[in-house]
Amino acid sequence: MTCVDVDQRKIENLNKGILPIYEPGLDAMVEHNARDGRLAFTSSLPEAMRSSDVYFIAVGTPPGEDGSADLQYVLAVAREIGAHLERYALVVDKSTVPVGTAEQVRAAIDSELERRGVHVEFDVVSNPEFLKEGAAIHDFMKPDRIVVGAESDRAIDLMRELYADFTRSHDRLLVMGVRDAEMTKYVANAMLATKISFMNEVANLCDRMGVDVENVRTGIGSDSRIGYSFIYPGCGYGGSCFPKDVKALIRMAGNHDFVPSVLEAVEARNEQQKGYLFEKIRAHYGPDLSGRRFALWGLAFKPGTDDMREAASKVLLRQLIDAGASVRAYDPIAMDVARDELPAEWFGDGRLTLVDHQYDALRDADALALVTEWKPFRHPDFDAMRRLMRPDPAIFDGRNQYQPENMQSDGFVYYGVGR
Ligand SMILES: NC(=O)c1ccc[n+]([C@@H]2O[C@H](COP(=O)([O-])OP(=O)(O)OC[C@H]3O[C@@H](n4cnc5c(N)ncnc54)[C@H](O)[C@@H]3O)[C@@H](O)[C@H]2O)c1
């Protein structure tokens, strides 16, 4: 397998064994497959095409200004494939792309072939990716399902052959129409985002009604029709998928003169939820946070990754800094990404300091804000924390990691989400 990226630095680093992302287990896997000659990296697509029969397009599909998925990278790859295609190939849309994209990819390749005056057969299939960051290898090796949207038998047979090793115990391949497969990916992410936003709405209501949402969560999760997953209240979902995919589905609906009221509410609730911790902070300390010092635990959008795209931590940091506070932040994995992604001026005048240990963040802090539920944050030494912090310390727990009763007896003012 040859991986292609236009980012030369990424390719140079990958060839040296340096991965651009943190993903548990991936470095060892890349290293031994590269060493054994099964995996290569290049920035030249024509070079990769010479030794390949199946081309996966897995480039980014970020939201455009109107929220729709920006297909420029996908279509650029399609055109390049068309410009160099010499023999039958299967082109696989792996990126999350709107319904109808496979037709656009086909047209882009066709128009390049026409320009060259050659006729080469090819198929375009949709094979959306469902892996979770932080569990990518497991999800890839043991997928719940492999969705394949294809129109030709030749393409379906090739996809079956390709995935044969991952479907030995039972057939996990779901073959459907190309448009159905494209839609399936968006609906899967929108459904999960809906569960999260629904539960966040319930949590906000619980906060106002003297109800502990954690009891409600276990009370409803035990119903097998509902289940426990994705009903954890918190300070909003982030990452590279849910926010952009919900937006893109809303946009797709708009293109068909349809108002997706549930999806719009899911997105709106999530935007509000990212500001929920700050609302509690402001209610506790008042609007002016000058002179206040905060510890922030967790910068990645979720545990197990260094990805900070659309992370709730970024929203909270901006709100705290705009209100005059200073912040010392720590994340077990995302520190380098934070250094690159967060505004340089925050570091310049000491409003934001990244520290090397979770307890360092607490030194002389008025309060701790917990934003990402990394395991090391789950059972901290509360006595040590209290000693490090200023008098009357507060904890703003954006992921409901601690028990409110214990926090009070440990000497903290505690705020969770919906407790
Ligand atoms: N990240 C995930 O966990 C995940 C999960 C499921 C689906 N997806 C989907 O996969 C797609 C990619 O997501 P990502 O997070 O890896 O994006 P990303 O932005 O991190 O990476 C995209 C890569 O594509 C490269 N690229 C851009 N144009 C190129 C070209 N013409 N030729 C070769 N390389 C090119 C970029 O340099 C970049 O390295 C998106 O559609 C996303 O929705 C991602």
Q: Coil, strand, or helix at residue 90? A: strand
Q: Which of 3, 206, 235, 241 is catalytic?
A: 241
What single letter denotes the amino acid at residue 89? A
Query: Which DSSP string do the residues of 14-45 spell out, in sequence order?
Result: HHTT--SS--TTHHHHHHHHHHTTS-EEES-H
Could you give the C-alpha distances from 280 to 105, 158, 277, 284, 396, in angstroms and in order? 48, 55, 5, 6, 8
Average pLDDT, whole number, for the chain? Answer: 97
* Mean per-residue pLDDT, 192-211: 98
Q: Coil, strand, or helix at residue 13? A: helix
Backbone angles phi, psi at 88, to 5 degrees: -50, 135
Residue with tokens 């989400």: 417
> Do residues 181 and 149 make contact, with C-beta atoms less than 8 angstroms apart?
yes
φ/ψ region of 291 (left if φ > 0, alpha if ψ in -120 to 50, else beta) reads left
Domains of the chain in sequence order: 2-177 (3.40.50.720), 274-415 (3.40.50.720)
> Do residues 182 and 387 make contact, with C-beta atoms less than 8 angstroms apart?
no
Angle at the Cα of 309 from the Cα atoms of 331 and 302, rounded to 5 degrees: 45
pLDDT, residue 220, reads 98
Q: Which of 218, 384, 209, 374 is nearest to 296 (CA)?
A: 374
Would you call 241 a catalytic residue per the annotation? Answer: yes
pLDDT-derived band at 233 (thresholds 50, 70, 90) equals: very high
> Do residues 265 and 84 make contact, with C-beta atoms less than 8 angstroms apart?
no
* Mean per-residue pLDDT, 61-68: 92
User: What are the b/e assignments for 331-358, b being 16+ CB within 10 Å?
Assistant: bbbbbebbeeebeeebeeeebbbbbeeb
DSSP class of residue 119 equals -
If you measure from the C-alpha of residue 132 to the centroid of ligand 1, how many angstroms do you get, rounded to a whole number?
14
pLDDT at 216 over 90: yes
DSSP class of residue 376 equals G
Beta bridge partners of 92: 56, 125
> Do residues 376 and 359 make contact, with C-beta atoms less than 8 angstroms apart?
no
Ligand 1 nearest-atom number relative to CA 244: 43
If you measure from the C-alpha of residue 110 to the centroid of ligand 1, how many angstroms do you get, rounded to a whole number?
23
Lookup: tokens for 191: 């459904």
pLDDT-derived band at 350 (thresholds 50, 70, 90) equals: confident
Q: Which of 97, 95, 59 is nearest to 80 (CA)?
A: 59
Percent of the chain whose predicted confidence (pLDDT) is above 90: 97
pLDDT at 168 over 90: no
What single letter denotes the amino acid at residue 382? F
DSSP class of residue 117 equals T
Q: Is 232 annotated as a binding residue?
A: yes
Q: Which of 104, 146, 155 is nearest to 128 (CA)?
A: 146
> Do residues 82 and 111 make contact, with C-beta atoms less than 8 angstroms apart?
yes
Residue with tokens 């319904």: 99
Ligand 1 nearest-atom number relative to CA 20: 39
pLDDT, residue 407, reads 95
> Do residues 82 and 55 make contact, with C-beta atoms less than 8 angstroms apart?
no
From CA 22, how far away is CA 304, in angstroms rounded? 8
pLDDT at 169 over 90: no
* Mean per-residue pLDDT, 30-34: 96
pLDDT, residue 304, reads 94
Q: Is 396 annotated as a binding residue?
A: no
Lookup: tokens for 133: 């960051």
If you measure from the C-alpha of residue 61 to the centroid of ligand 1, how many angstroms do you get, rounded to a whole number?
7
> Do residues 179 and 248 make contact, with C-beta atoms less than 8 angstroms apart?
no
From CA 383, how far away is CA 310, in angstroms rounded? 33
User: 317-329 pLDDT, tens per residue?
Assistant: 999 999 999 999 9
Q: Is 238 annotated as a binding residue?
A: yes
From CA 280, how far away is CA 272, in angstroms rounded? 13
Pocket of ligand 1 (CB under 6 A): 4-7, 10, 58-61, 73, 76-77, 95-96, 129, 131, 133, 240-241
